[in-house]
Each structure stands twice: as C-alpha cells, then as structure tokens.
Amino acid sequence: MRKHYIDNIRWITVVIVVIYHVFYMYNAEGVLGGVGRITDLEVQYYDIFQYLVYPWFMPVLFLIAGISSKIYLDSHTDKEFVRTRTTKLLVPSTIGLFVFWFIQGYINMHIGEAFSDLSGMNIPKPVIYLIMVASGIGILWFVHVLWIFSVILVLIKKIEKGKLLEIGKKTPLWMIPLFFFPIWGAGQILNTPVISVYRFGFYFVFFILGYFVFSHDEVIEKLKKFAVPAIVLGVLLCVSFSVYFFIIKGGLNYADVPVNRGPWFAACAYFGSLAMLLGMARFGDHNTGFTSWMAKHSWGLYMFHYLGISSVGYFIAKPGLLPPPACYILSLLAGFLFSYGLYAIISRIPFFRWAILGIKKKKEK
C-alpha cells in the first residue's frame, strides 16, 4: 500500500521551499545569492520565516529520500536502483547544466553583477559559457548530494546484508531522541568551505536514518502516538531559534557558521523533521485529487521554481520596475507558474525531458 504521507510531506515541503526562496531572494540578513533588500524598511520582520524553516526543510527531504529508497529497493535490485537514480538525479545535474541550467547561471551572474566584473578581462565566450554552467547549479546541489548518497547506500547494503535493517526495525523509543547527537556531530564534518549548502555529513545521517530506521512501519506506528508532543517540541525549538538569532542577535546569518554548526540548529533540523514526519504519518496519510496532482508535480516544482523567482528578481525587482510588495507577490506566482508551465512543456519533449528532468519515457512513472 502506498504511503501517502510520504508523498504529502514531499510536496508540502517543496511548497515551503518555494515560499522560502521568495523571502531569500530579497532578504536583508546578508545571506548571499539573491537580489537583497528592495524595501526601505529598517527591519524586514517577515524575514523571520527563513529562520523558522531553513534548519529542517532540507533535512526532512533527505529523511524521506532515505525512506523512499527503502521502499523502492524492497521490489527492485541494486542495479535498477542505481540506474534509475542516475537517470533521475545525475543526468539533470550534469548534462542538464549544459543543456538548460546555464540559463539559471546567466540570471544568477547578472543578479550578482558578475558580468560587470568580467567585462574588462577579455575572457573567451566558451569560458563565459562554462562559468554560466557552474553558476547554474543552484538548487541542483540537493540532486548532486542525493545521487552520491544513493550510490553509497548500495555499497553499505552489500556490506551489512540486511543486518542493520533488522536492528533499525527494533529501534526502541528511548533511542529516537538520541539520534540528535550523531546529527549534531556529523554537522561538523564534510562541509564545503565556500558553498555552505554542501553538508555531506549532516545530510547523510538524515538519509541513513530514513532508510534504516524510519522506513519501518513498526517504528512509525510506535512513534505516531507521540505525534502531537513531537509537533509541539519541533515548533517550540524552531520558534525560539528564530526569535534568538533573528531578533535578539539582530539577524545573524542562519545559513553559515557558526549558526548552522551549533546544537540549536541541529535540534531544529532533527526534531523539526520528526514533527513533520510523525505529524503527517498520523494526520496526513490520505490522498485526494489535489494532493495526488501536487505529489506528481513536486519534482517539476522543485526543479524550476527558482528560475521563475530569480527571473522576477533580476528583470523587475532589481531595476525597481514595481513596488516591493508587488515584486514579492509576482515572484511567488512566477515560482509556481514557471515550474508547472516548464514541467508540462519539457516533460513532453523526448531528449530534453531526459536531460533536464531525468524522465526517460514520456509518461513519468
């Protein structure tokens, strides 16, 4: 039986990612990558939304990716798993960069005024194109990391031969809170020095816990009874984290050191993810026409949303063509409309649906 709560977690989280990126595009906290402040407000109080969701929304996606990997491998071979993950993840994040995502790089470079910095250097156009390709990675970092984790998982499976899965199935309730400590510890290692989103150790623990522990119905059924306390704890942690770092510390950068290496960030990431997982397992394990449609289009929404948001940021917000409130609203609309429109078009074009979206056949399975 399909676990609808997994589908619902995925599309709801992606919607939160879209909303986050709208605020991120015009943030006033010094988090690099967007247009930056476009208002005359001394404090953009709504920026606190970024602090509320950033610690946990990507960890929960890695957590359910681990769960989904277990579900897939229950009925497929390791070779099929690697092949499908390579098509779905590696192809769009490598070949797709040269075919399409350099467009995102073009916009990112204009937002960051990189072309102005390069204008007097007489750099050959092919080199400029390669720079645009590298600059177009953007949200594809998640796809890169997830493919690496998938390959590592197959290697681990060959070594552990199902023994860790059996241990994970019997995980006692008292051990669940203790997983915070390996998550916090892993957050200190395998972090890339410049691009802070590549946190291999931190996200790998979530992925592995999803596969070996939270993929088991036996574990989820026991934990569902504590869904409400888990939600309360997750909300309290994230709200207090937001108040402290946004209000008390004056908007300290939540996406970089020292904040993202601290125990408070790790606690928000883990217990916030648990709140989403258990809350949806207990209250959101259902399917309607709307939720089914959103689930089927969540991949397209994730892949294309930032292109729409950043396009509005560069062409409209940066030159000040519209008032700030209109830019925020238009960016949000573009995030959804670009995504669903491009997904509907590109998923029907033979070569491009493979290169950009990792869809091998016309009808996505």
Q: What one-character-per-residue DSSP string does 247-267 give?
A: IISSS--TTSTTGGGSHHHHH
Q: What is the pTM of this model?
A: 0.95
Residue 363 belongs to some domain of the structure: no
Residue 26 belongs to some domain of the structure: yes
Residue 50 belongs to some domain of the structure: yes
Residue 306 belongs to some domain of the structure: yes
Residue 315 belongs to some domain of the structure: yes
Residue 362 belongs to some domain of the structure: no
Residue 51 belongs to some domain of the structure: yes
Show the tokens assigned to 333: 């609309």
pLDDT beneath 50: ranges in the chain: 364-365
Q: pLDDT digit string (tens) for 156-177?
A: 999 998 899 999 999 999 999 9
How much is the pLDDT for 134? 92
How much is the pLDDT for 81? 96
What is the number of structural domains in the chain?
1
Helix (H, G, I), strand (E, B) or coil at 25: helix
How much is the pLDDT for 362? 52
Using CB atoms within 10 Å of the CB of residue 106, give its burial: 0 to 12 exposed, 13 to 18 middle, 19+ buried.
buried
Residue 47 belongs to some domain of the structure: yes
| Domain around 310 | 4-357
